[in-house]
Amino acid sequence: MECNKQLSRILLHGFKSIRDCDLELQSLNIMIGPNGVGKSNFLSFFRLIQQILAKQLQTYISRQGGPDALLHFGRKKTSGIMGELHFDEQTYKFVLEPTQDNRMMFADEAFFSNESDYCKIGSGHFETEIDAENASSMVYKDIIPTMKNWRLYHFHDTGETAQVKQVQQINDNDYLRPDASNLAAFLYRLKKQFPAEYRRIVKIVQLAAPFFGDFYLRPNTDNPEFIELEWTEKGEDKPFKAYQLSDGTLRFICLATVLNQPEQFMPTTILIDEPELGLHPRAIDFLAAMLRSAAVARQVIASTQSVTLLNGFSIDDLIIVDREDGVSSFKRHKEERFKHWLQEYTIGDLWEKNVFGGR
């Protein structure tokens, strides 16, 4: 089934630092703002949706610390979490309320569209009741596969124990996992089945890291059911281990793989939290180009604090995030409004000067 619908608008109430949010989304969405304003909270809402669809809501809430950790300033100030996800004319809506036993209950759950198709799923349940019984709803058929195909990537962990550096099961290659813990297995599959995309990834990595030759991908000699990430330097054939890559280079490899993987593996919406961490300014330029390119066919939502990365986009692409009195706000500007500024300054300059907020 095709899963290519994009999220066009999101309404959110009562989630973490987000008291109220009504935000239009487009193909390319770059959130900017300092630490602690709510960028990561916004992205984590997509993880909540994924847990709802996987029928793991109560487990997720428990691991997060209970309802009060998710509600805006706790249940004393916020009675519930409301979300509306609009896909042009089609919408999925839910309301979650805390219970005395520290669970969250669906006070409402429904699909609807601007036309006649309306499906009231129900209320009083603790896990979503989206299932085959709802399949008669065209809204269900159109948007549930899309939401299930969202993926939030987070490549911050590149320490000694990071999963990306460990031995991996070679058959764990259906898609690139959000923490790139199966990167070697996934690249191995691309090399064998999608050589054009594999070579593109290698060439892009070489642009950012001129010393890089190629990946050295082979089943483990002791157990061919496993593989680990190895690589060679340009002009050499001696393989090196993943831990011999710098953190920035390893993160860039993960990003290059996500943003250049074959079309059939691409999520409908690609979400990345602060992808510029640890990258050289030149690599950040390549990252901006990859994000723009990926947004041609897919939706991209990323957060950043990088002036260099901002300079790779237009003001129309930006979502400015601020926070006052513990409340996050999200807004967009039209580039036309700042045309006279852009004759002398870059977008990064304007952000540093706090001309359009997000500082």
Domain that holds residue 16: 1-150+268-359
pLDDT tens column, 68-85 = 999 999 999 999 999 999
**Contacts by 59-62 with C-beta closer than 8 Å and gap 24+?**
61/102, 61/103, 61/104, 62/102
User: In terms of domains, do 113 and 173 share one?
Assistant: no
Residue 185 confidence (pLDDT)? 98
User: In terms of domains, do 288 and 301 share one?
Assistant: yes
Closest CA to 187 of 209, 210, 216: 216
User: In terms of domains, do 109 and 34 share one?
Assistant: yes
User: In terms of domains, do 251 and 274 share one?
Assistant: no
User: In terms of domains, do 18 and 119 share one?
Assistant: yes
Residue 194 confidence (pLDDT)? 98
User: In terms of domains, do 141 and 282 share one?
Assistant: yes
Structure pTM?
0.94
Q: What are phi and psi of 98, to 5 degrees?
A: -75, 150
Residue 143 confidence (pLDDT)? 86
User: In terms of domains, do 79 and 130 share one?
Assistant: yes
Domain termination residue (choose one: 266, 295, 313): 266
**Contacts by 334-338 with C-beta closer than 8 Å and gap 24+?**
none
Give me the number of domains the chain comprises. 2
Could you give the CA distance from residue 350 to residue 192 in angstroms, rounded to a whole number? 46
Residue 1 confidence (pLDDT)? 42
User: In terms of domains, do 189 and 276 share one?
Assistant: no
User: In terms of domains, do 110 and 4 share one?
Assistant: yes
Residue 134 confidence (pLDDT)? 61
Positions in the chain whose pLDDT score sits under 70: 1-4, 115-117, 132-138
Domain termination residue (choose one: 248, 266, 284): 266
Here the tokens at position 84 are 């509306």
Average pLDDT value for the chain? 93
> Which CATH number goes with the domain that contains 297?
3.40.50.300
User: In terms of domains, do 128 and 14 share one?
Assistant: yes
User: In terms of domains, do 110 and 210 share one?
Assistant: no
Closest CA to 177 of 59, 50, 289: 50
User: In terms of domains, do 92 and 173 share one?
Assistant: no
Q: What are phi and psi of 86, to 5 degrees?
A: -100, 130
Domain termination residue (choose one: 217, 236, 266): 266
